[in-house]
Chains A and B, each alone.
Chain A
Amino acid sequence: MPLQVKRLLLAFAVFIGIMLGLKYFLTPDSWREYGPYRGKALIEIADKVPKYVDMETCIMCHDSIGELKIQGLHKSIQCEICHGPGYLHVDEPEINKMKLPAGSEFCIQCHARNAARPDKIIKQVDAAEHSEGENCISCHNPHEPWL
């Protein structure tokens, strides 16, 4: 074998050795647990605390409102859409108050007239014309609109 090839082979061997060493020390433990990524990342992502609890939890304590709402047309709307995330309130309701939405602005998110809104899915009103400056919740109960 010619000398320069031998030298080259030696250089290659050293290079590959270094790379294998680096790979050994730098590859995280859970690499390739499920695929070409760090398996632990799945656990880290799943560790985050949910902020929205579900409607059943609210109804456990607020059963009268729950019953009212189940009968009405707003039954499909989660409490927390209107009142904000409840993960703190659920643990200490006296300290962590929920948001009380003011009404009009908030109702028109869903009920303002817009041609793109399918009529058969939701009833729409011209906010200013319909409410005549009054707050929506002075006539409609937010938990059961026809009460």
Chain B
Amino acid sequence: MAIEKKNFSRRDFIKHTSMFAGGVVFVSLMNPMKVVYATKKPEGKGKWYGIAIDIEKCIGCANCARTCKIENDVHKEPFFFRNWVEQYTITNDDEILVSSPNGGIDGFEQPVPEEDIYKTFFVPKMCNHCAKSPCTQVCPVGASFESPEGVALVDQTYCIGCGYCVQACPYGCRYIDPEKGVVDKCTLCYHRLKDGLDPACMMACPTHARIYGDLNDKESEVSLFIKEHNCAVLKQQLNTVPKLYYNALSQEVH
């Protein structure tokens, strides 16, 4: 059987392609293409968790990091963290020194003598529970997801340990559990939230530098804190829409 050949004229070609292109435009107008995210901020009353950290109140005791490790059975060594504290020291020569010995758990030393310090402060870090989290979008098996309350979680029975999300997170908040071979990360102590308890790190803070709560409720402590203080998020330019707000964040922090 021979293949039937048909010669198209230029007019036909243009007609067909423009019909096709017009069709595509028409369909996309009918149903505008939406970006697909795992979760959207719930409308109405649903909870939408956010966090605020007051750098002016942080004393760098790292009890947040300690309690987190105990509460969530995070490996002590080699060093993995769901949250940790960094000490920033900016010298008079504009040098920026960042240290975090064992995530702050071993205590901090000031590397430069006091007269050479321009400014110095602690920055506690943890998962930002982004609204457009890059880590959940790259997961090939749907094991990394964001709960309806806006908490980024990992389904460890489905995780294949490919480590793609570990690379995708711009804040370095994920790690591969050396024993289970799957990804682990901050869950905002999801198991504690369900029991009505505060997440371990929030509970542990002696100066109440860490606040969490429902961003949907404009009267919640965290919403009021963000309203009353000049808060900033980390790496805003990446459009990950972090829900961790820092008060008094210096521009040197990344």
Contact = CB atoms under 8 A, between A and B. Distances in A.
A47 B200 CA distance: 16
Given A109-B63, A114-B60, A117-B60, A52 B71 contact: yes
B146 A122 contact: no
A46 B191 contact: yes
B142 A112 contact: no
Nearest to A75: B206
Interface centre among A36, A76, A112, A117 (most CB of B within 10 A): A117
A11 B241 CA distance: 45
A133 interface: no
B38 A36 contact: yes
B87 A48 contact: no
A: interface residue count bin: 35 or more
A76 B207 contact: yes
Interface of B is mostly: loop
28 contacts: A35-B148, A36-B142, A36-B145, A37-B142, A37-B144, A41-B153, A41-B157, A42-B153, A45-B190, A46-B194, A49-B191, A50-B71, A50-B195, A52-B67, A52-B192, A78-B206, A84-B70, A109-B63, A112-B107, A114-B108, A115-B89, A115-B114, A115-B120, A116-B121, A116-B122, A117-B59, A118-B58, A121-B57
Interface of A: 2-3, 31, 34-38, 41-42, 44-54, 76-78, 80-81, 84-85, 108-110, 112, 114-118, 121-122
Interface of B: 1, 3-4, 38-39, 56-63, 67, 70-71, 87-89, 107-108, 110, 114, 117, 120-122, 142-148, 153, 155, 157-158, 187, 189-192, 194-195, 197-198, 200, 203-204, 206-208
Given A44-B155, A117-B122, 11 more contacts: A34-B148, A35-B38, A37-B145, A41-B155, A41-B157, A54-B198, A76-B206, A80-B204, A81-B67, A116-B60, A116-B87
